[in-house]
Amino acid sequence: MAQVAELQALDRAECLRLLRTVSVGRIVFSEQALPAIQPVNFTVEGSDVFIRTSGGAKLTAAVNGNVVAFEADETDASTRSGWSVVVLGHASLVRDIDQLVALAGPRSQPWVPGRSDHVIRIKSERITGRRLEPGLHDRRSAG
């Protein structure tokens, strides 16, 4: 059985710092009244999440103007530890040309090929995060 590991709540600044360390997250929304989730490449500017996505028309239509969740995490199975951050906020299509240009750097390039005409902004109206520190584990249960 796992010994005591530590589950810590993370503050907003630490959540934003962690988000900036990874390039793939997951946008969570409703699609035809069903829960939907899609991995996406993203960047953080200020405290907002920006997603530039290939084939974005369908995704954009589903999320534009709606409250969505966005999640990123990093876990280590060998130590059974990691962190996760969830952003909750309104999603909208970025239409401002200056902002689109500013966001067009290499980090925002999606991995998936295709045209990437849409940039989605998620305002981080609520950010929550938690970190699970490595605990002491009984080796019998680690397999």
Binding site for its own copies (CB under 8 A): 1-7, 22-24, 26, 28-30, 34-39, 67-69, 71, 73, 75, 77, 80-82, 84, 86, 88, 106-107, 109-113, 132, 135, 140-143
The smaller minimum CB distance to its own copies, of residues 17 and 107, is found at 107
Beta bridge partners, 129, equal 10, 85
The smaller minimum CB distance to its own copies, of residues 23 and 99, is found at 23
Residue type, 128: T
Smallest distance, its own copies to C-beta of residue 94, A = 20
Smallest distance, its own copies to C-beta of residue 98, A = 21
The smaller minimum CB distance to its own copies, of residues 64 and 82, is found at 82
Smallest distance, its own copies to C-beta of residue 65, A = 14
Smallest distance, its own copies to C-beta of residue 115, A = 11
Buried b (16+ CB within 10 A) or exposed e, 29-63: beeeeeeeebebbbbbeebbbbbbbbbbeebbebb
What's the chain's Rg over C-alpha atoms? Answer: 17
The smaller minimum CB distance to its own copies, of residues 69 and 93, is found at 69
- Please spell the DSSP secondary structure of 81-97, one letter per residue: EEEEEEEEEEEEE---H
Q: Beta strand 6-10 with 126-133: parallel, antiparallel or unpaired?
A: antiparallel
Smallest distance, its own copies to C-beta of residue 3, A = 8
CB 70 within 8 A of CB 27: yes
The smaller minimum CB distance to its own copies, of residues 47 and 135, is found at 135
